Amino acid sequence: MMANDIKTTLTDRMAGFESFSIALDESTDLSDTAQLAIFIRGVDKEFTVTEELLALQPLKGTTTGEDIFNEVQKVFTRFGLPWSKLKGICTDGAPSMVGLRKGFIGILNEKATALNVQKDDLIVIHCIIHQQNLCSKSIRLQHVMDVVVKTINFIRSGGLNHRQFKGFLDEISAEYNDVTYYCEVRWLSKGKMLKRFYELRNEIADLMKIKDKPLSELSDPKWICDLAFLVDLTGYLNDLNLKLQKQGQLVNDLYSHLKAFQVKLRLWESQMLSGNSYHFNTLSTYENIAYAQYAEELKLLSEQFSNRFSDFKNMEDCFSLFANPTISNVQNAPIHLQMELIEIQENSLLKSKFEEVELCDFYKEYLEEFNFPQLRKFARRLICAFGSTYKCEQFFSMMKINKSTHRTRLTDDNLENSLRVCISGINPNIDGLVSQIQAQVSH
């Protein structure tokens, strides 16, 4: 009942959307049912933003692009959502999502005219966090990772080894009380594991000697330098990842974090080539640093970042215009926005207000619909856009908690209802629901 009440409120809000975007991702639950999570982010005429779970659709058979498209179409029909107001789609970049012919995006492009979808206005984005994680995999110091992962698995996979190691750390009052496993699908796992291993490297070396499995690498200065470089670099990558995960950011904010990191990579590369490791705190404590090798690693990582994110780069001019309408080059702006941009740039009051208030508040409160209809429409399109599928990833983590090994018979409807109540920002009308139910009277 609470889930249905939330859904009713959401439906009422969606009726007022001027623009909306969706984020799509698919995962398999513990009963091997493929679940398609659809999140919606919409903006109404007054620039009120609503971001909610739209639906959780089970895919009983295949999970092709056509299957996904059909499920999305069913959901749009059920909620009365017009395709003409769809301004953005964010996916995890899987072939079933972005395939040009048989993917969800490809099928949508084919049917765009019939559905009244404005393809020129549609922002199609591959999740920025997924792309950043793919770039991170280009780091080539595998000889370090192999030793670290193998050692941690040896310590933690055996009960006796693990107990002895934890007991040893407790005796010496070490800063950390254990090492952490590496899980490739967890974005922050690699950096955390390497940092913990580095901090406990002496204790690990002592344990491995006791177990008659000495690690020669831990006495190799070159290998330790490689480990220190990897600890610093993965730490920076984790910092970027956390910035991209932060809630409430607009898509242009995410791209700003990305561009700043690319500039940092180029700076680090040039400094390494000149023998400067100042920004790599762990590495800089050592001598005989292989500056040229690390500069090459940074160059490779920088190239990966440059080669990806084409969807964001194609929107760069739009992001710039949206974030800086008072100084944007009018001649390079879309022709339907030029007259309104001139009005802003020649209005000293509007220019001063732009410096004083939040970006969304500026478009909402100081650009009247009558005088700036095109700029307000342009702003709504970017405000509603998803930059990542992080909402879906969080949702699937919650799904695995709700549909656990002890609750595998939970039906698809009950699963969606329980998750909707868990994560929704809309509060159900408890008083109204209670008033509809007959209380148990005394006999």
Beta-strand relationship, 86-91 and 123-126: parallel
Total Cβ atoms within 10 A of residue 400: 12
- Global pTM reads 0.92
CA gap 48, 46 in Å, rounded: 6
The pair of three-digit structure tokens given for residue 347, joined into one six-digit string? 């209005």
* Phi, psi angles (nearest 5°) of residue 194: -65, -40
Q: At 86, which amino acid appears?
A: L
Longest CA–CA separation in the chain, Å: 89
Q: Which pLDDT does position 353 carry in this prediction?
A: 94
Q: Domain 2-127+389-433 has what CATH class? A: alpha beta
In tens digits, what is the pLDDT along the chain, a chain of 443 residues? 999 999 999 999 999 999 999 999 999 998 889 999 999 999 999 999 999 999 999 998 899 999 999 999 999 999 999 999 999 999 999 999 999 889 999 999 999 999 999 888 999 999 999 999 999 988 888 899 999 989 988 888 777 777 877 776 776 667 666 777 666 656 677 888 899 999 999 988 988 898 898 999 999 999 999 999 999 999 999 999 999 999 889 999 999 999 999 999 999 999 999 999 999 999 999 999 999 999 999 999 999 999 999 999 999 999 999 999 999 999 999 999 999 999 999 999 999 999 999 999 999 999 999 999 999 999 999 999 999 999 999 999 999 999 988 888 889 999 999 999 999 999 999 988 888 887 666 65
Q: At 315, which amino acid appears?
A: M
- The Cα-based distances of 346 to 270, 328, 338, 360, 413 in angstroms read 42, 12, 12, 20, 55
Nearest to 207 by CA among 263, 248, 169: 169
Residues of the chain with CATH 3.30.420: 2-127+389-433
Burial group, residue 277, by CB count within 10 angstroms (0-12, 13-18, 19+): buried
Instruction: Kindly give the residue spans of alpha helices, DSSP state H, lying in 211-289.
Output: 221-245, 251-273
Q: Which pLDDT does position 163 carry in this prediction?
A: 84
Total Cβ atoms within 10 A of residue 188: 16
Nearest to 38 by CA among 15, 14, 62, 18: 14
